[in-house]
Amino acid sequence: MNTSRRFFCTGMSLTVIGAITSMTLSQIAQAQGNVKKRVIPVKVQKFSFVPNRIEATPGEIIVLALSALDFPHGFNMPDFNLRMDLMPGKIINVELKPDKPGEYDFLCDNFCGEGHEGMSGKLIVKFQD
Ligand SMILES: [Cu+2]
């Protein structure tokens, strides 16, 4: 009885060690840049994001490289709980890994003039046709 219980315990700890090891390996892979990221430059100016329609596949990692050209705009993606200030002359990189297919709006949330209300775009996440 005692012997079999000891074996059981050993098995458990081996499993735990295995899980920790595989997690560490995937973290090393990320640190080495083995994870593919697609960088998408986005120009931000009164009153548009260019491009204003960005497509991605579920699970893909994309980096929006946002540059404000003329004014301090804001970048807000409510579905991702994300907002950034975009100051002219700086590139702000926003890394996203959208897992679920769907359409996610983004918008300027810093009033920038008469066309501000229409300053928005969409991230469209879908499996490729
Ligand atoms: Cu704006």
Q: 46-65: per-residue pLDDT in tens?
A: 999 999 999 999 999 999 99
Q: What Å distances lie between residue 58 and 45, 48, 84, CA to CA?
A: 28, 25, 23
Q: What is the pLDDT of residue 62?
A: 98
The total domain count for the chain is 2
- List the domain range (segments joined by +) for residue 11: 1-35
Using alpha carbons, list the distances in angstroms from residue 4 to 1, 9, 18.
Answer: 5, 9, 21
Q: How far is ligand 1, taken at its centre, from the CA of residue 99, in Å?
A: 28
Same domain, 43 and 98: yes
| CB neighbour list of residue 109: distance below 8 Å, 6 or more residues apart | 74, 75, 76, 83
The pLDDT of residue 129: 78
Tell me if the pTM is above 0.85: no
Pair 78, 119 in one domain: yes
Looking at residue 33, what is its pLDDT? 58
Q: Assess contact for 100 and 124: CB atoms under 8 A.
A: no
Ligand 1: distance of its center to the CA of 123 in Å? 18
Q: Do 41 and 28 share a structural domain?
A: no
pLDDT beneath 50: ranges in the chain: 1-21, 23
Domain CATH for 87: 2.60.40.420
Report the separation in Å between the CA atom of 92 and the middle of ligand 1, taken as the mean of its atom positions. 15
